[in-house]
Structure 1
Amino acid sequence: MAVRFRAVETLPKLMRRLRKDSASSTMTRSPVLPSLRRAFSLYDQINLIDNVPDDQLRFQRYTETGFTVNGVNYEGSLLCVGNLITSWSPRKFSEITPQSLSIFQIVRPIPEILILGCGRHIEPVDPELRRFVRSTGMKLEALDSRNAASTYNILNEEGRIVAAALLPYGVSP
């Protein structure tokens, strides 16, 4: 009992001492360097990866009306599966339906994730569309088109089986 009483009595003194030591040690340390996360974001640039094989798709630029992929300019919406690219019919977010994504019922191997580029702003995805994507075995990630292109680059470069359905960046609701 006496040991317990002494421990309880000593604890506040120990805590004050630790705080005092911690405060004095921070005064002598060199100043904290700013976080690189604030200085550079992976999503600030599309062309993040320079050593990508020639047959691998890489978004290099986006515009209000299209994208540049592997040095080729594409106007309008794009659908990418792995290293295949094709034009895609939706011109605005409301035109994205299970029908417009029906190719994913037959594509094999099934991509693990579908990155949906909503245009300039992230839009809420219709529950029916979410159910459809889930029924194919894919996960769905809705982003603005700029970040969707960057995310596609990163996941594709990692060798993951990924798909992207992208509206041009200039599209707004």
Structure 2
Amino acid sequence: MLHSQTRPQSRQQSTGPFCQFHTSSRDFARPQKSRDRGPKSTEDTQTDFEALDVLGNTPAPTTGIDACTPEGFALNNGLRLSGSGILLVGGEAFRWRPWVREGSKESTNSEGGVGNERGFSGRGGLKNSKGQWEVQKEAWGVLDLVWPKPDLLIIGTGPSVMPVSPTTRKHINDLGIRLEIQDTRNAAAQFNLLATERGVQQVAAALIPMGWEEGN
């Protein structure tokens, strides 16, 4: 009697194009329930941002305006000007009388010139026929010669802000210089700040005294 032997069926392996991967679960950190960061630090190395002065170690420019007077200006280097405006370019200070027109004789009242009790003298003015602040091209001679030229010119038009004429604005812009127009007191303060931040080579100022009155 023959006994048939049956072979155990081999398990057939699946060879499909997809494989199944098993990932193990990870225990991620849970967010903290409390926001308590502990006691306040008493270290001396903490920065007091309210008392932080980023320009504290930057020396003020020698041509910075220390005071604006009705007749002129006082600089922080000790220089005082009276009866004149001032032009600050490249770290230098120049006496500036843009109201004196070309060909006119600058003189005192006793000599027949036009002036007032504040000491301004000379024939001319700073307003054109449209009431705009206008300075002759010859008054900007320093800006024509200086190199490199400043990036910004701050103009102080006297006790109040006045619109600058297109002719004056175009002449300054053609030199590659931007304009900022303010009354003299605010113009001086802005010059002090920007000249300290950016340097006197980048910022210039042309200021008329606070006591200037048209018709001098």
Counterpart residue identity of residue 144, structure 1: D
Aligned partner (choices 96, 100, 118) of residue 157 of structure 2 = 118
1:152 is displaced (CA, Å) by 0.6
For normalisation by structure 2, the TM-score amounts to 0.53
Task: Write the distance in 2 (CA, Å) between the matches of 1:50 and 1:93.
Answer: 38
Cα 1:50–1:167 shift into 2, 3 Å: farther
Q: Is the 8 A contact 1:61 1:67 kept in 2?
A: yes
Tell me the residue number matched to 1:20: none
Aligned partner (choices 57, 66, 84) of residue 60 of structure 1 = 66
For normalisation by structure 1, the TM-score amounts to 0.65
Task: Write the distance in 2 (CA, Å) between the matches of 1:54 and 1:131.
Answer: 31
Task: Write the distance in 2 (CA, Å) between the matches of 1:51 and 1:80.
Answer: 23
1:50 is displaced (CA, Å) by 7.8
Q: Is the 8 A contact 2:61 2:192 kept in 1?
A: no
The answer to which structure, 1 or 2, has the higher relative contact order (CA under 8 A, 6+ apart) is 1
Query: Tell me, which stretches of 5 or more residues in structure 2 are unaligned?
Result: 1-54, 100-124, 128-133
1:105 is displaced (CA, Å) by 1.6
Equivalence map 1:1-173=2 (5 Å): 53=59, 56-70=62-76, 71-75=78-82, 76-91=84-99, 92-94=125-127, 96-160=135-199, 161-173=202-214
Q: Is the 8 A contact 1:93 1:167 kept in 2?
A: no
Fraction of identical pairs, as percent: 34
Task: Write the distance in 1 (CA, Å) between the matches of 2:62 and 2:86.
Answer: 16
Write out per-residue CA displacement over residues 49-96 of structure 1, whole angstroms, 9 at most, x where no aligned residue.
Answer: 886647632111111111110132211100001310010122453362
| Structure 1 SS opposite 2:93 | strand
Question: How many matched pairs?
Answer: 125
Task: Write the distance in 2 (CA, Å) between the matches of 1:85 and 1:60.
Answer: 13
1:97 is displaced (CA, Å) by 2.1
Q: Is the 8 A contact 1:115 1:148 kept in 2?
A: yes
